[in-house]
């Protein structure tokens, strides 16, 4: 059975007319500086034994991980002792604010960033606590406190679990943000995200930009030299203090961005350590994958997949083996919406990061299409862009729609320039990015006479604008979802871009048919067509990396 590559417009889908706003017409500055860590929103409290940086990681409608920090991090130019992790790690909770009758024990950990350069400042975190609370009742409000190093309780917090996983549910909201950082623009983004009142938040990578600073806290830009691969880890502490008003009440999920790589090679280490801050401070669900580097979970009516272009994605890799198993076993009857998240965009008309992960696109796009992924969300490019449904640079009624929301407000400022007209195309300016783990892929447009860059805004690009902001995805029911993008310069009640997605049903798109464990509800096998597309992906990867 072949999966039909549908045209742009059909009886059940009409592509939107491309729209855009130029940076020169918006009257905005390109960005702002970071807020000092002495600001009360980012600074530590006076009691070092009291819990701080309290945040929730989503597990499922019946589970959540509560995380927090106690003690004082180590930060100096000499060797640092490990913190004492043999301290209480407990959450008391219940459905009544005046009766926290349940207790959940947890674990403690810490991490270090050690540098060998003369004069570098080393960092060892304070004690990081993680408590996994299971057996919760869906759609229920819980109250909780966490305990500090000397059993000092925190203030009282609350959260509400999502509805049970299933194809029937009431509308709920997922908030999305990426490339946040900690500038004055970033604080507006977070304030607006809080105002949008999401039930769940997805952080699509590049949390805090600690690697944009030397280990002494100075910004890592010219003329500063000598701090390659250094980071300023107190930025991470500031992030979770500042975001505590949101994430102590609303659980979040996240993916790794390039600024979470934070490569370091401590003395006597045989290899570089990667992702240490991200892995120590968060606890995303690993039931299906066994790792936080990539994973999946379910929300009401939706299966959420989190991929990682910054670790191996060859067809023989653990990540791709997991992805194929996950897509072959998830239950589309229970979770009809299939949504993927990974940091760098595969469809992008900005000069910034243009086609940077083209090899990754060639590797995963056939699989995402074959299994009927509905929506894909990215960060990385510091601007906003939403596509029509698109496959291989051609509008396709059965393909995913992609959205880039790398517009959280970080210190690297907004991406202002498009790759069209030709004078701005990286191929013509010598600004191509094709090296390292990214691969070496040259691909061309399906239109515009096969040019490397589009000659004008392509038909697959529905809306693009170089402004900071955040987004919300309202899952209405099994076939309808509404996306809204909110610019920072507007009030949160104003949506600068809105689209209603209708998920293909019935026989409209064979790749979207209901199936369980690789079998369509009608009983026909669609495995063979998916194997063909998987073989195509494998051939693309080998071509990218020069493998015969």
pLDDT at 17: 81
Quick: pLDDT tens for 324-354.
Answer: 999 998 899 999 999 999 999 999 999 999 9
Binned at pLDDT 50, 70 and 90, residue 200 comes out as: very high
Distances (CA, A) of 238 to 21, 191, 369: 34, 16, 40
User: DSSP string covering 80-102, please?
Assistant: -PPP---S--EEEEESBTTB--E
Distances (CA, A) of 106 to 67, 158, 201, 431: 9, 18, 23, 48
For residues 378-398, give the mean pLDDT.
96
- Say if residue 225's pLDDT is above 50: yes
Please report, for the chain, how many H helices and E strands are present, in that order.
8, 28
For residues 53-74, give the mean pLDDT.
97
For residues 386-390, give the mean pLDDT.
97
At residue 25, what are phi and psi to the nearest 5 degrees?
-100, -5
Most confident of 137-141, 361-365, 434-438, 446-450: 137-141
Binned at pLDDT 50, 70 and 90, residue 4 comes out as: very low
pLDDT at 512: 83
Lowest mean pLDDT among 49-58, 104-113, 435-444: 435-444
Interatomic CA distance for residues 301 and 338, integer angstroms: 9
Question: pLDDT > 90: what percent of the chain?
Answer: 65
Structural element, H or E, at residue 363: helix 358-370
Lowest mean pLDDT among 36-40, 290-294, 429-433: 429-433
143 versus 535: the higher-pLDDT residue is 143
pLDDT at 433: 52
Binned at pLDDT 50, 70 and 90, residue 205 comes out as: very high
33 versus 157: the higher-pLDDT residue is 157
Interatomic CA distance for residues 487 and 6, integer angstroms: 33
At what angle are helices 358-370 and 318-329 packed, to 10 degrees?
20
- Say if residue 464's pLDDT is above 50: yes
Quick: pLDDT tens for 148-198.
Answer: 777 788 999 999 999 999 989 999 999 999 999 999 999 999 999 999 999
**Catalytic residue IDs:** 353
For residues 16-27, give the mean pLDDT.
82
Domain range 19-30+165-205+293-544, CATH architecture = 4-Layer Sandwich (3.60)
pLDDT at 437: 44
- Say if residue 6's pLDDT is above 70: no
480 versus 423: the higher-pLDDT residue is 480
442 versus 469: the higher-pLDDT residue is 469
For residues 78-97, give the mean pLDDT.
92
Binned at pLDDT 50, 70 and 90, residue 534 comes out as: low
Quick: pLDDT tens for 303-317.
Answer: 999 999 999 988 789
pLDDT at 422: 86
Instruction: Give the count of beta carbons closer than 10 Å to the beta carbon of residue 37.
Output: 18
First to last CA, the chain: 29
141 versus 271: the higher-pLDDT residue is 141
Comparing C-alpha atoms, which of 256, 263, 331 is closest to residue 295? 256
pTM of the full predicted structure?
0.93
For residues 16-21, give the mean pLDDT.
85
Lowest mean pLDDT among 197-201, 308-312, 408-412, 522-526: 522-526
Lowest mean pLDDT among 86-95, 495-504, 520-529: 520-529
In a 13 Å sphere around the CA of 507, the CA atoms on its Cβ side amount to 2
Q: Give the single-character DSSP code of 137.
A: P
Quick: pLDDT tens for 364-384.
Answer: 999 999 999 999 999 999 999
- Say if residue 292's pLDDT is above 90: yes
At residue 343, what are phi and psi to the nearest 5 degrees?
-65, -60
């Amino acid at each position: 059975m072949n999966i039909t590559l549908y045209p742009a417009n059909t009886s059940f889908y009409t592509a939107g007319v491309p729209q855009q706003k130029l940076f020169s017409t918006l009257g905005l500055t390109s960005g702002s500086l970071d807020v000092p860590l002495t600001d009360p929103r980012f600074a530590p409290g006076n009691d070092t034994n009291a819990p701080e940086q309290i945040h929730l990681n989503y597990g499922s409608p019946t589970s959540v991980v509560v995380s927090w920090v106690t003690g004082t991090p180590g930060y100096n130019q000499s060797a640092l002792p490990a913190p004492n992790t043999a301290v209480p790690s407990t959450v008391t909770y219940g459905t009544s604010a005046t009766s926290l009758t349940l207790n959940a024990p947890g674990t403690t950990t810490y991490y270090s960033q050690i540098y060998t350069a003369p004069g570098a400042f080393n960092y060892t975190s304070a004690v990081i606590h993680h408590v996994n609370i299971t057996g919760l009742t869906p759609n229920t409000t819980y109250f909780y406190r966490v305990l500090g190093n000397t059993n000092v309780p925190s203030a009282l917090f609350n959260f509400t679990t999502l509805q049970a996983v299933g194809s029937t549910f009431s509308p709920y909201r997922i908030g999305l943000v990426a490339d946040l950082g900690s500038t004055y623009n970033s604080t507006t983004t977070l304030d607006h995200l809080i105002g949008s009142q999401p039930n769940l938040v997805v952080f699509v990578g590049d949390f805090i930009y600690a690697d944009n600073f030397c280990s002494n806290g100075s910004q890592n830009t010219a003329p500063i030299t000598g701090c390659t691969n250094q980071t300023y880890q107190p930025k991470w502490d500031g992030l979770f203090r500042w975001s505590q008003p949101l994430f102590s009440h609303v659980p979040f999920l996240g993916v790794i961005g390039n600024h979470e790589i934070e490569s370091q090679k401590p003395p006597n280490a045989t290899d570089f350590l990667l992702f240490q801050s991200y892995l120590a401070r968060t606890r995303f669900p690993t039931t299906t994958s066994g790792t936080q580097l990539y994973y999946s979970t379910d929300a009401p009516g939706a299966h959420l997949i989190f991929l990682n272009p910054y670790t191996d994605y060859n067809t023989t890799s653990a990540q791709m083996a997991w992805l194929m198993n996950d897509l072959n076993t998830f239950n589309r009857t229970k979770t009809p919406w299939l949504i993927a998240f990974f940091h760098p965009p595969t469809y992008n008309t900005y000069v910034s990061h243009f086609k940077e992960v083209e090899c990754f696109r060639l590797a995963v796009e056939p699989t995402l299409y074959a299994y009927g992924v509905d929506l894909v969300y990215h960060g990385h490019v510091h601007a906003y862009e939403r596509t029509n449904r698109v496959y291989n640079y051609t509008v396709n009624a059965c393909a995913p729609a992609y959205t880039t929301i790398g517009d959280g407000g970080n210190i690297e400022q907004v991406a202002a320039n498009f790759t069209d007209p030709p004078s701005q195309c990286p191929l013509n300016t010598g600004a191509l990015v094709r090296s390292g783990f990214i691969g070496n892929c040259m691909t061309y447009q399906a239109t515009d006479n096969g040019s490397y860059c589009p000659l004008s805004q392509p038909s697959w690009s529905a809306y693009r604008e170089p402004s900071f902001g955040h987004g919300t995805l309202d899952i209405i029911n099994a076939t309808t979802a509404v996306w809204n993008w909110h610019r920072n310069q507007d009030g949160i009640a104003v949506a600068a871009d809105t689209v209603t997605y209708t998920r293909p049903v019935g026989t409209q798109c064979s790749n979207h048919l209901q199936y369980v464990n690789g079998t369509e509800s009608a009983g026909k096998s669609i495995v063979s067509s998916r194997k063909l597309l998987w073989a195509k992906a494998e051939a693309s990867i080998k071509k990218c990396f020069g493998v015969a």
